[in-house]
Amino acid sequence: MPAEIDGATFRGPVYETGPQSFLFSMPGVVRCLVTGGEEIVYERAPGATDAEVGVFVFGSAFGALCHQRGLFPLHASTILLDGEAVAFVGRSGAGKSTLAATLVERGHRLLGDDMCVVWHDSARPEVATGPAALRLWQHALSGLGKDATGLDRVRAEMPKYYVPVEASDLPDRVPLRRVYALREARGRAPGIEHVLGLRAVNVLATNAYRHRFPRQMAATTQLFQLAALTAAAVDVALLVRPIGFEHLSEVYGMLEADWARPAVAKS
Amino acid sequence: MTFPLNEQEVLHAATDHVSAEVDGQLVMMSVERGRYYGLDEVGRRVWELLQQPIRLGDLLDTLVEEFEVGRDDCAADIMPFLASLAENDLLTMAD
């Protein structure tokens, strides 16, 4: 594992990156080197658990790999709706996982929590499916009437848990149909506002997984092009809603009403 | 580049730009700044015309004809747009 990478376009305290190489170091847990959009090599620190190492290997390292490979990863929780993917984006702590958990409770299948990788190698943007687990904080679990007994912690020192969701036989890829950006209804009426053009592109680009990486990797043009390509084919909307577990039913009602109408028709 | 521009100035879109068509809008990125912009109908047409070096006076003449607006109104409307393109390194003065 090198101490640094050659030709880095960005060097920070935790990671450094170039266009096709990414070196990450979390003391006490793991070091990762990601290269060519193909390979992740990691070095586990003594005593680090699979779960702890996994946070970074399947998080930042995998995110870097996606950007290197020219894929478009979203920081999103994603569910299946009528054979298509619906992704929820928003800053960390906005409530994506909690909303996804609510939808799972109501019978929807989870396609992913944290990252949603969008592929553009066929006629429409698609999301790959695979094993999934929700990542929920203690208070979210409590808010949903569950407890953390028997669940693995995401990181040893934090009350955040992996909640496995039943594996299902889904096709390898499903089309991405809708993206909702979570917003707090603070002094604004709750509702769903569909956005187009520049606004849609901005929503997607700002919610790319590890959205700072593209600039640091000198890949801003790629990010723009992928965000624009995705926005042109997907229904992008703002989900403005009141925060709080007591409002989850109301939010679900808003989504159901929106789903009863066809997605905004795109090319 | 100083505003207001003289009609004899020859303008040209910066070559270092990236654009995409999304929902009927032309969305652009300034590579230098990394920010995104959306152009409406008039903005798109101005941008199209700027793809070749063009004298400001000729640009105005074309817009007046195509959009059937008064020349003074047209100049007043597009000057802020040109200024904003310049500010975002999307507009150059052709030599």
Q: What is the mean pLDDT of each run of 10 residues along chain A (267 residues)?
A: 93 96 96 96 94 92 96 96 95 89 91 93 91 80 83 80 73 94 90 95 97 95 96 96 90 95 76
Is the CB of residue A30 less than 8 Å from the CB of residue A43?
Answer: yes
Which residue does chain A place closest to B31, by CA atoms? A221
Q: Is A266 on the interface with B (CB under 8 A)?
A: yes
Higher pLDDT, A63 or B2: A63
Q: Which of B22, B25, B32, B41 to mutate to test the interface with A (most CBs of A within 10 A)?
A: B22
State whether the Cα torsion A135-A136-A141-A143 is positive or negative: negative
pTM of the predicted structure, to 2 decimals: 0.87
Q: Which pLDDT band holds residue B11 (cuts at 50, 70, 90)?
A: very high
CB contact under 8 A, A224 and B37: no
Average pLDDT (B18-43) is 85
Q: Which pLDDT band holds residue B24 (cuts at 50, 70, 90)?
A: confident
CB contact under 8 A, A220 and B31: yes
Q: Return d(Cα B70, Cα B75) in angstroms, integer.
A: 9
Confidence at residue B95, expressed as pLDDT on a 0 to 100 scale: 60
A81 vs chain B: nearest CA distance in angstroms? 23
CB contact under 8 A, B20 and A221: no
Confidence at residue A129, expressed as pLDDT on a 0 to 100 scale: 84
Confidence at residue A51, expressed as pLDDT on a 0 to 100 scale: 85
CB contact under 8 A, B36 and A224: yes
CB contact under 8 A, B25 and A205: no
Residue with structure tokens 């949603």?
A116
Q: Return d(Cα A113, Cα A76) in angstroms, integer.
A: 6
